Amino acid sequence: MNKLKKDFLIACIDNLDYWYSFKGITERDKMEGLLFSTLVIIDGEGGSFPACALKPIDENGNEGEDIAGDLHNHIQKLLNKTKISKSKKINADYEVARFISTQGKEAAIKYYQYILDNNDFSKNTGAKTLNEYKINMAKNMTDEDVKEAMKNYEKYLEE
């Protein structure tokens, strides 16, 4: 095994060890962190390893376009667009429930709508998705849902 290949694999193992030992986040968040960190290595943004080319090769050995360089940015955008992680959902539910319990439902709806309408989410679709989720929760949370969100948050903190 050549030195460059070994250095790359060691950087990947270091990331694995880092994310494996991380406490207080879900397994999904750990896997996303590992994926993101590995793409950072390939893109040459981690500082510990030079950028790599990542090209498909067809059955005749012809190389396609290099897709590396900003993969870590693209995966983050795709992940933010497609889901709200369990930990973000629990925290968002708690935040909305706490707001409703202290300020009232209408104030919560107005607040989250204001945030959505007056912030530039063009660079972070995950933040836009999360605020849209909070508005929907504020509109639909019952008193029982507020109590349940508070309990779920306490359980989450104990994990």
DSSP characters over 71-112: HHHHHHHHHHHH---HHHHHHHHHHHHHHHHHH-HHHHHHHH
> What Cα–Cα distance (Å) separates residue 96 from each residue in 63, 131, 144?
51, 10, 13
> What average pLDDT does this structure show over 102-119?
85
Q: Given this model, what pLDDT does residue 122 score?
A: 46
> Which amino acid is residue 114, in one-letter code?
Y
Over residues 18-60, the pLDDT tens digits come to 888 877 777 877 888 899 889 989 988 877 788 899 999 999 9
Give me the residue spans of the domains in the chain: 3-82, 86-158
> What is the C-alpha separation between 50 and 53, in angstroms, rounded?
10
The percent of residues in the chain predicted with pLDDT above 70, rounded, is: 90
> What is the C-alpha separation between 87 and 89, in angstroms, rounded?
5
